[in-house]
Copies of this chain bind each other. A is one copy, B any other.
Amino acid sequence: MLIYTEEEIKKCVQMDKEVIQEVETAFTDLETKDVEMPPVMRVDIPENNGEVDIKTAYIPGYEMFALKVSSGFFNNYQLGLPSLGGLMILINALNGKPEALLFDNGYLTDVRTAAAGAVAAKHMANESVETVGVIGAGAQARYQLNALKHVRNFNEVNVFSRTQRRILEFKEEIEATLQVKVNILDSAELVVKNSELVITTTPATEPVIKHEWLHPGIHITAMGSDAEHKQELDSHILKNADVLVCDVISQCEVLGELRSAIEHKLIKTDRIKELGELTTGKYKGRQTRDDITVADLTGTGAQDTKIALYAYKKLTEKK
């Protein structure tokens, strides 16, 4: 079995158009192929404020598929350790043999998650987005903006974060890497009201965006909720959206923003599209400039298999 470290993987896989294209095909595959993707497995360890998620998907036509283990242990800062971690195993689909261990500490998850945000924006946001808002200023907020820059040429970022501690660092980093102006705002409301596209990247368990803040033409990508207890959007946002797209409806019903909207009987799943229905061109993600569009992303095993296969290709080419 081949084993690769985070450092080796980071050298081979960066956020670029090629990665976004790979992740886009994961959604197309979910729509067009008979992908075997069991529900997410989760182990909760409440006494240590920790959780481990396992995701996987076999996509017919590829010689390997990924099994991903990702961990979030939210007391780790007290131990001087990062909260998030993980690894991926690539398994041979012909004979079951584990072929490679990608010991990426969650890097590939960060990349494929942000790439999915860019895919949603590409198909749903207005072409002319100049101002992007982001709620949360952690690693995933940075990855999302980096990915988005490949599909929308924005020049201004509005950011709000409840934890202010690293927001100046965020501003400096984004201004330097993306050549955009970053405005630190005092509330999520100001961010939403002043941005054409908003990305939520928080672990919130109560809505951080209210529906009355929305304006015509806005696109929202909510990628924070990936568990039964998380929620970033007021459910009326989903109810009133002109276009509502999930990465996978059956998964968003349980883990995503959709869960609460369904619980409150605000929405039926028959009017929701899956992202693969946009990437294949079956449906348009936006009909008019003024449509309000919302993407609910929980992260899929198909993305993990795609990014792992891409990393494997790059890593073995290099040798």
Which A residues contact B (CB, under 8 angstroms)? 1, 3, 36, 38-39, 41-45, 47-48, 50, 52, 54, 56-58, 60, 65, 67, 69, 71-73, 76, 79, 81, 85, 87, 89, 91, 93-98, 101, 103
Given known pairs A1-B103, A58-B43, A103-B1, the reply for A96 and B52 (CB within 8 Å) is: yes
Given known pairs A58-B43, A101-B101, the reply for A67 and B52 (CB within 8 Å) is: yes
Across-interface contacts of A91 in B (CB, < 8 A) = 52, 69, 71
Across-interface contacts of A3 in B (CB, < 8 A) = 3
The residue from B1, B45, B57, B89 contacting A93, defined by CB atoms under 8 A apart: B45
Across-interface contacts of A39 in B (CB, < 8 A) = 41
Across-interface contacts of A60 in B (CB, < 8 A) = 47
Nearest B residue to A73 by beta-carbon distance? B96
Rounded to whole angstroms, the CA-CA distance of A91 and B56 in the bound complex is: 18
Nearest B residue to A60 by beta-carbon distance? B47
Question: Are A96 and B76 in contact (CB-based, < 8 A)?
Answer: yes
Distance (whole angstroms) from the CB of A8 to the closest CB of chain B = 15
Question: Are A94 and B69 in contact (CB-based, < 8 A)?
Answer: no
Across-interface contacts of A93 in B (CB, < 8 A) = 45, 48, 50
Given known pairs A85-B97, A103-B1, the reply for A36 and B45 (CB within 8 Å) is: yes
Across-interface contacts of A58 in B (CB, < 8 A) = 43, 45
Nearest B residue to A67 by beta-carbon distance? B69
Distance (whole angstroms) from the CB of A172 to the closest CB of chain B = 30
Distance (whole angstroms) from the CB of A34 to the closest CB of chain B = 10
Rounded to whole angstroms, the CA-CA distance of A268 and B34 in the bound complex is: 36
Rounded to whole angstroms, the CA-CA distance of A93 and B75 in the bound complex is: 12
Rounded to whole angstroms, the CA-CA distance of A39 and B41 in the bound complex is: 8
Across-interface contacts of A76 in B (CB, < 8 A) = 95-96
Q: Which of A3, A54, A81, A98 has the most CB of B within 10 A?
A: A98
* Nearest 5 Cβ contacts at the A-B interface: A71-B96, A73-B96, A41-B41, A73-B95, A38-B41
Across-interface contacts of A56 in B (CB, < 8 A) = 41, 43, 52, 54
